[in-house]
Amino acid sequence: MESRSSKFPQVIIIGGGFGGIQIAKKLKDKEVNVLMLDKHNYHTFQPLLYQVATGGLEPDSIAFPIRKIFQKQANFKFRVANVTQINTESSSVTTSIGDFHYDYLVIATGSETNFFGQKEIEHFSMPMKSVPEALNLRSLLLQNFEEAVIEKNAQAKQAFLNFVIVGAGPTGVETAGALAELRNHVLPSDYDEIDFSKMKIFLVEGANRVLPPFSEQASYKAQQFLEEMGVTVLTNTMVDQYNGEQISFKNGDVIPTKSVIWSAGVKGAIIPGLEHAQIVRGGRIKTTDYNLIEGYNNIFAIGDISYMETEKFPHGHPGVAQVAIQQGQQLAANLIRIINKETPKPFDYFDKGSMATIGRNKAVVDLKFWKFQGFFAWITWMFIHLLFLVGFRNKLVTMMNWIVNYFSQDRGTRLIIRRFNRKTMKEDIAID
Amino acid sequence: MESRSSKFPQVIIIGGGFGGIQIAKKLKDKEVNVLMLDKHNYHTFQPLLYQVATGGLEPDSIAFPIRKIFQKQANFKFRVANVTQINTESSSVTTSIGDFHYDYLVIATGSETNFFGQKEIEHFSMPMKSVPEALNLRSLLLQNFEEAVIEKNAQAKQAFLNFVIVGAGPTGVETAGALAELRNHVLPSDYDEIDFSKMKIFLVEGANRVLPPFSEQASYKAQQFLEEMGVTVLTNTMVDQYNGEQISFKNGDVIPTKSVIWSAGVKGAIIPGLEHAQIVRGGRIKTTDYNLIEGYNNIFAIGDISYMETEKFPHGHPGVAQVAIQQGQQLAANLIRIINKETPKPFDYFDKGSMATIGRNKAVVDLKFWKFQGFFAWITWMFIHLLFLVGFRNKLVTMMNWIVNYFSQDRGTRLIIRRFNRKTMKEDIAID
């Protein structure tokens, strides 16, 4: 086990997402040693993954090497490691590259796709929570058209041209919109042998409206935008089964499709070892109002993985980047207070609002006292996303791509670098 | 087998490289049907692969979807297919997606890495002829440093920090230079736990100078540049063996290394079925002076795969992009002549010169009557490469990256998206 490198307490942060990055940054120049562990060597800007999947952006534009973020932070160390076990007795974590001791442990592992125990759906449908998953989806989409071109049987051909997105949260809505733009503006000139009036995009939602967490006004407008763009929106519709050939719904309807994109829910990415911790609905870990995991005195959880009940949020906080960011910042300050034997301050979430883009000049923005949709909302969405994107080069390249895509009505990145394998449902066939 | 779609003759082009793209373009609006077959759905700009491998560019910037190149060409069709057999009797090709009939067949399969039959070297060393291979190399490089950080044994650590590039042609020289810049400017701020004075880059060449096909002056200056940047250049040195742990040379020297980059030679990418064809040195196919494969009347070979002896080039033409491009253009015109029962014109190669970049402000350019090196050569190199890069977006994004890289002395794209597998020597471990 790696021994402690100085007299300062060792803070281990598991996960380099929005929350993990923030707390590590705020601990700069403080009298602690920070060790971040992540299975990736990069931070992923998840809100733009759908643009990687639909060929609008390169992964390198929305992900950023974690080591680079902390180049100038002397008390920060990073390891690419998969954490497999938390050992609360010995205050250590077991990982793919060995054990590490902690004085304070921050669990910022975020969330993973929730298939609600439906193994067949889990195998055959496409999640979109990571860069590799987005690239898997990109290859699947492009290969569908290559296979549709050579498919003689009309029924089989249609299955390649039907796209079903399950879950109409921001990710589902934005993906449906991006697919519609591919069909309306990009793909027809690539595949003159395909009749794109036959390409169907279905957005399926169990609730009675798209973007359930948004305002009614935003939901209404978003659905209007989607239908203008030719997306079939199916609300109050629950998925029954999907076998890789056809998806069936609880209402008995069936759609033949080779592509089901699953954005219907998430669950906390739990690491074994927290016996005393209280795991609540959605696999989240119950914490105090300063992110301490109840039952422990030096283990904390922030962001999607944490479940914190407050007066304002009696059923926990939403699983969005802003909560993770603010909890990360707050916990950094509280850790220093705790180390200095001071009383930690309770977390108070400031909701900056939410937004989703449907397509060119089409977005919805919900602010506390102002809700607006359309072109200005779309500009706002782009501005905010560029603002939060890590790294000057990423901001620049992404903006360039967006400008070119806007005027050319094109999506530049349509390479099948690794072939999608319909058996493993992963992009794992190397083509040298 | 797909039947002929019209009364016009069917021209099948195997390979979407520099030659294949050119002949297809020049056949636009001509009375032929063009079918291009490639295992990738994109054209690769091979001269910049080394920048993908060393984290300077995204693959999407140097590769371009083939369908997009020919969006406005009515007589062009494309299939993603692996051609496994040429059936000269039935005038058809057998592929991974079925058989296709041809009236005229153009073999533009280019070249593949030549390991000269050394199976162990082939397994353990890294070629760099395709986008997937460049990405494999990128992941290997980055993982070496992640592993060096946690490696306690000094000898084992050094093996991660020794990089051996075999073959000092343009690819070898440019890769060595790019690695030196990573060590000198980029990696130290990422890995403050590594002593980068221990990172060694060896460029190994069997001939008595680097860039053997270039002028003596260019070779001399290129080696000087490389040594200024801290690359150890070993000329007159032949590789004996490499087992994944250490590379040994015919002179008895041994270097422990986890990374051998193989750019020591190429051979024609032959497809079975050409019994009468004369396969000469380097697996190239002997053709007449208008690229007809001797022994056939409707099968042609252009670019790296073709071997054409002329007065000016009694030992065949160099395996460079310009030869492929010019042969492609010329053969398009000749095909039309042949179809119109006219006499085809002999190929006459116009050598536009050659260039290689070693690093920031350091390049060498050989023109027929003017040879120059240094800053202006470097500017020329960048200008020419941007000029030949396919697609406005690619030119723009690449230029942006080069500008940012120049001023930041950084390389932006350092993501390990898929983990490199030292058993398969491929980047095939998905990290979701």
Contact A205, A219 (CB under 8 A): no
Condensed to tens digits (0 to 9), the pLDDT of residues B296-316 reads 999 999 999 999 999 999 999
Helix (H) / strand (E) containing B204: strand B200-204
SS (H, E, C) A347-404: CCCCCCCEEEEEECCEEEEECCCCEEECHHHHHHHHHHHHHHCCCHHHHHHHHHHHHH
Domains of chain A: 10-39+81-113+267-339 (3.50.50.60), 119-264+360-425 (3.50.50.100)
Is there a contact between A132 and B418 if contact means CB atoms under 8 Å apart?
Answer: yes
Q: Which pLDDT does position A428 carry in this prediction?
A: 77
What is the rounded CA–CA span in Å between residue B54 and residue B81?
Answer: 29
pTM, entire model: 0.93
**pLDDT reading at B84 higher than 70:** yes
The DSSP secondary-structure symbol of B300 reads E
Predicted confidence band at B421 (pLDDT cuts at 50, 70, 90)? Answer: confident
Dihedral sign of CA atoms A401, A404, A410, A412 in order:
negative
CB-based contact A198:A158 (threshold 8 Å): yes
Of A72, A150, A431, the CB nearest to B132: A431
Q: Which of A2, A89, A146, A174 is catalytic?
A: A174
Give the tens place of pLDDT for each residue, A157-203.
Answer: 999 999 999 999 999 999 999 999 999 999 999 999 999 999 999 99
Determine contact: B191 vs chain A, CB below 8 A.
yes
B412/A contact by beta carbon, under 8 A: yes
Burial of A286 (0-12, 13-18, 19+ CB in 10 A): middle
**CB-based contacts of A332, cutoff 8 Å, min separation 6:** A22, A23, A25, A26, A27, A30
Q: How many CA atoms lie within 13 A of B292 on its CB side?
A: 16
pLDDT at A1 over 60: no
pLDDT band at A2 (very low <50, low <70, confident <90, very high): low
So what's the pLDDT on residue B210?
Answer: 98
Q: Which residue has the higher pLDDT, B251 or A419?
A: B251
Please give the average per-residue pLDDT across B272-296, as a whole number: 94
Q: Is A166 exposed, middle or buried (0-12, 13-18, 19+ CB in 10 A)?
A: buried
Query: Given the structure tokens 């056949």, which residue do they identify?
Result: B27
The confidence score (pLDDT) of residue B1 equals 58
**Cβ of B63 and A415 within 8 Å?**
yes
Tens of pLDDT, residue by residue over A100-143, are: 999 999 999 999 999 999 999 999 999 999 999 999 999 999 99
Q: Tell me, what amino acid is at A162?
A: N
CB atoms within 10 A of CB A311: 8
Minimum mean pLDDT among A195-199, A333-337, A388-392, B383-387: which range?
A388-392
Active site residue B193: no
Task: Give me the pLDDT at residue B416, please.
Answer: 87
> What is the per-residue pLDDT for B184?
95
CB within 8 Å of A239: residues ≥ 6 apart: A121, A166, A204, A247, A248, A249, A250, A264
pLDDT at residue A5 above 70? no
Tens of pLDDT, residue by residue over B11-52, are 999 999 999 999 999 999 999 999 999 999 999 999 999 999
Structure tokens at A292: 């301490």
The helix/strand/coil state of B348 is coil
| Minimal C-alpha gap between A189 and chain B (Å) | 6
Hey, of A73, A397, A425, A428, which one would you mutate to test binding to chain B, going by the most B CBs within 10 A of its CB?
A397
| Cβ pair A58:B63 closer than 8 A | no
Q: Is B310 on the interface with A (CB under 8 A)?
A: no
Q: What is the pLDDT of residues B142-177, one digit of tens each?
A: 999 999 999 999 999 999 999 999 999 999 999 999
- Give the Cα separation of B169 and B249 in Å (integer): 19
Residues of B in contact with A34 (CB under 8 A): none
Q: Sheet containing A231-234: which strands, arranged edge to edge?
A: A231-234, A200-204, A162-166, A259-262
Considering chain A, what is the average pLDDT of its residues? Answer: 94
**By mean pLDDT, which of A220-224, A428-432, B215-219, B380-384 is the weakest?**
A428-432
Q: Is residue A3 predicted with pLDDT exceeding 60?
A: no
d(C-alpha B123, C-alpha B244), whole Å: 9
CA–CA gap between residue A258 and residue A260 (Å, rounded): 7
pLDDT at residue A394, rounded to an integer: 87
Closest CA relative to residue B65, chosen from A126, A141, A164, A156? A141
Query: pLDDT averaged over chain B?
Result: 94
Burial A337-362 (b: 16+ CB within 10 A, else e): ebbeeeebeebebebebbbbbbbbeb
Verify whether the Cβ–Cβ distance B58 to A63 is below 8 Å: no
